[in-house]
Amino acid sequence: MVGGFKRQIYLTCDMRGLISTSIFLFLLGICFSSFSQDKERAEEFRLQTEQRKRTEVMRVLDSAVVDMDHGSYTQADKKLVYVLNNLKSIPSDLTFYFGKNSYYLGKFKQSVDWLNKYIQLKGTTGQFYKESVDLLKKVETQLVQERTKDAEKAGEILSSTYEIDCGPAGKVTCPVCKGTTVIIKKGYLNDEYKTCGFCDTHGFLSCAEYNQLVRGELKPRQ
């Protein structure tokens, strides 16, 4: 009788342990399910937030295009920079708009970089491919004109009465013979060697002679 009572007690304890374990596992499952749902909700909220931000940024891009079409290039540039700084994934069309707007702002080198980037990304099938090629031709023309103006300006400075400071030594290496005192003229059969008629025997020009040479006023010695 005592043994049967003990077995009943042990069985009761085992049942209680089993029930406690089941309850624990049930509660653990609820917690895990709740955690998973919270994680999914958090991820969904993050994605929705990013999508809303991207939508707002793309509206700014559309506004920049409208400004560009109306000739407000400075205002468009500010908006394009904002778009560039607020998007993780840059749309290829943005490179075209930057290139086009940079052209109208007179930023020709920057325009070339952006337009070439657009063509690199989209190839010949891009929506703005033809316009990009046409703009690149215009940009290249402008760059040639800029280089010509810079060369003319440099020529004006050098041909004027400006004096170039040769430093404390008061002399410079002859740019004609590069300090060798000899000018080499290439021939079909043999090279012709001739003593430089501008520098001294050590391959130097005085500062005054150098300035005359730059202005085209220095005559070679006989």
Scan for tokens 């004109």, then name that residue. Answer: 145
Which residue type occupies 166? C
pLDDT of residue 143: 79
Contacts within 8 Å (CB) and 24+ apart, 75-82: 76/101, 77/101, 77/102, 77/105, 82/57
Contacts within 8 Å (CB) and 24+ apart, 12-19: none
Q: What are phi and psi of 47, to 5 degrees?
A: -65, -40
Which residue type occupies 188? Y
Supply 150's token pair.
């810079």
pLDDT in tens, 111-137: 988 998 888 888 888 899 999 999 988
Which residue type occupies 203? G
pLDDT of residue 99: 92
Return all residues near 119 (Cβ < 8 A) that are at least 6 apart. Answer: 126, 129, 132, 133
To the question of pTM greater than 0.75 for the whole model, the response is: no
Of 70-84, 99-113, 162-176, 181-195, minimum mean pLDDT range:
181-195
Strand ranges inside 39-191, DSSP E = 171-173, 182-185
Q: Tell me the β-bridge partners of 185.
A: 192
Cβ atoms 198, 220 nearer than 8 A: yes
Among residues of the chain, what percentage have pLDDT more than 90? Answer: 24
Indicate the length of the chain as a whole number: 222
Q: What is the largest CA-CA distance in the chain?
A: 143
pLDDT in tens, 160-180: 566 777 888 889 999 989 899
